[in-house]
Amino acid sequence: MKKIANIGIFTILFVSSLTIMVGTVIAPSLSGIVQHKNLGFSPGWLITLPSLGVVVFAPFVGKLLHRLGTIRLLCLGLIPYGILGFIGAYISNDFLLILDRFLLGAATVAVQVSVTAYIAECFAGKERMKMIAWQGMAIELGGVVFLAIGGILGEINWQFPFYIYLVALLCLVLVLKTLPKTPSVKEHEEDVSDAESKGSSKVWLIFGSSLLAMMLFFIGFVTLPLYLPGSFGFGESETGYFMAAISVVAILTASQMPKMVHLVGDGKTVALGFLFFMLGYVVLAVSSSWLFLLFTILFIGVGFGFTIPLLNHMMLEASTPKNQGRNLGLFSMGVFGGQFLSTFIEYISNDYKAVYTVAATMALIIGFVIYFLFQKINKN
């Protein structure tokens, strides 16, 4: 376990905040993008195509972690992240735009896997859980800041939110200046096949839980930019503030997540998160006044705070130095695969209230199934 200076911890958290903004940073200006780009595909794909890129490239990135080490892989991800994200504003060809957003996902998974692996190398035990909780808070804080900025910039010019991706180049400088290098993962490899066999079922359960949790969370990010203006007359900045408020609640919840785990256990905490997702979408399905939407902010924010940061920590705990790259790649596939799957919820119905009813029902069923599966695995 390495001693990291405060500026190094800041860098880790700052870089972590880039992962959620990869799609959401342009969400508040989605309606403006639709007006200025003659898209031949669903506009929601601009938000979720990077997620598909993550799913496709995650296995390769997991292997690269062993070869390059965390810092090199992180730098390799930050450069194309900034460039590919920025140039999306100026691509008019549908095919090139789809390719750009898809490759942006490859850069994103390199950033996510390497920064989480770096935390695993530098922290252990309670300090690691605290750092993962902070990472979850940083990710959602990035959602607050970047969504708000994206909404403001989107009202000035629909292209301006794309400029936010250039923050990755600032992160690159901070990484090179503030983070001490660690040995590559392959230097720590050992024969842990028995441990891998015992933990494989839990790893796949964590993968499935992360996929479904992020799918449910991201249904809101895909639908709200179009639902709120159409049903409640929200402007782009108001939509950005609303979605950012969800992230604020998620930050507060993630900060208390370790206490909840200590109180009821990790599996029960994850299941509780799904039940909060259910409550959030029930409110969206029945609300006719924007005041009731405040409960949606609360419930969906708590749902995220009790699931994704905790599942990230659980995946690290279920991993060994030998399979860490593969498992973190699998976790990234789950998180961003869930984001991509959320796009298809719109095909259920043109009525968003029906969509939210389906989402609430799914969250309820998944929550109970997750609860019993974690109970079964923990007993074994």
| Mean pLDDT computed over 338-360 | 85
Sign of CA dihedral 226, 228, 233, 237: negative
- Write down the H helix ranges in 179-235: 193-232
Q: Write out pLDDT tens, residues 298-316.
A: 999 999 999 998 998 899 8
Q: E-assigned strands of 63-160?
A: none
- Grouping H, G, I as helix, E, B as strand and the rest as coil, residue 161 is helix
**DSSP string of 219-247, one letter each residue:** HHHHHHHHHHHHHH---HHHHHHHHHHHH
Q: Contact 263/167 with Cβ under 8 angstroms?
A: no
The amino acid that residue 106 corresponds to is A
Select the more confidently predicted residue: 304 or 326. Answer: 304
**What pLDDT score was predicted for residue 84?**
94
Whole-prediction pTM: 0.79
Give the residue carrying structure tokens 């984001």.
339
Q: Write out pLDDT tens, residues 228-246.
A: 888 887 877 787 778 878 8
For residue 170, pLDDT over 90 is answered with yes
For residue 372, pLDDT over 90 is answered with yes
Angle at 190 between CA 184 and CA 194, to 5 degrees: 135
Q: Write out pLDDT tens, residues 258-281.
A: 889 889 888 999 999 999 999 999
Instruction: Please name each of the domains of the chain with its CATH number.
Output: 6-379 (1.20.1250.20)
Task: Give the pLDDT band of residue 188 (cuts 50, 70, 90).
Answer: very low
Q: How many CB atoms lie within 10 A of CB 60?
A: 12
Q: How many CB atoms lie within 10 A of CB 177?
A: 10
Question: CA 206 to CA 228: how far, in whole Å?
Answer: 32
- Grouping H, G, I as helix, E, B as strand and the rest as coil, residue 179 is coil
Q: Contact 207/330 with Cβ under 8 angstroms?
A: yes
Task: Give the pLDDT band of residue 343 (cuts 50, 70, 90).
Answer: confident
Residue 83 has which token pair? Answer: 């460039």
Residue 22 has which token pair? Answer: 């990869």
| Mean pLDDT computed over 120-135 | 84
**What pLDDT score was predicted for residue 268?**
92
**What pLDDT score was predicted for residue 190?**
45
Task: Give the pLDDT band of residue 356 (cuts 50, 70, 90).
Answer: very high
Rounded to the nearest integer, the mean pLDDT of the chain is 84
Give the residue carrying structure tokens 């905490």.
269
**What pLDDT score was predicted for residue 183?**
58
Percentage of the residues of the chain whose pLDDT score is greater than 70: 94
**What pLDDT score was predicted for residue 2?**
58
For residue 324, pLDDT over 90 is answered with no
What contacts 130, CB < 8 A, 6 or more positions away?
258
For residue 380, pLDDT over 50 is answered with yes
**What pLDDT score was predicted for residue 199?**
63
- Taking alpha carbons only, the member of 183, 31, 18 closest to residue 107 is 18
Angle at 43 between CA 152 and CA 34, to 5 degrees: 60
For residue 206, pLDDT over 90 is answered with yes
